[in-house]
Amino acid sequence: MSTSTGSPAVVDAVTRGTLVIANRVVEKIAAEAALDVESVGGLTSRRLPGGRVRAAGNGSRPRASARIGRGSTRISMSLSIRYPARIVDICDDVRAQVIRQVADLAGLRVTHIDIDVSAFEIGSGPDIRVQ
């Protein structure tokens, strides 16, 4: 049995080692955090005539890419927003939620978020009627 006079919570950083968080982990956190904001949806790719690909709404989750640097993290996102919603307000909410979640879950400081609203979903399903 060994005893220690120091607290296990206060351990020298050299003793603990390093922590590496992959870009892909931050990308998943950001995409899920964006979905927590009302009116935000994901993207799907639709193939158009001539082989072109277009992003459209109703996908599983927004797309995100992250770059982790020294002391800062940059994130780019593509997402859809459901009509009717104020796009600027929704994007401000997404930025705040992503910054909060990445800081809470990964301990990283997000310094820049680019948001591409690639689709504006008009609505679908049985509740939508054409008059």
Model pLDDT, residue 18: 84
Which residues share a beta bridge with 61?
none
| Contacts with 107 (C-beta within 8 Å, 6 or more apart), sequence order | 21
Alpha helices in 1-131 (DSSP H): 13-16, 23-35, 87-106
Model pLDDT, residue 123: 65
Model pLDDT, residue 128: 46
20-121 CATH: 3.30.70.1350
Q: 3-state DSSP call for residue 130?
A: coil
CB neighbour class for 126 (10 Å; exposed up to 12, middle 13-18, buried from 19): exposed
Going residue by residue through the chain (131 aa), what tens digit of pLDDT does each one get?
545 555 555 566 668 788 889 999 999 999 999 999 999 988 765 555 665 544 555 557 899 999 999 889 999 999 999 989 999 999 999 999 999 999 999 999 999 999 999 988 886 544 444 55
Model pLDDT, residue 16: 77
Model pLDDT, residue 8: 58
How much is the pTM? 0.74
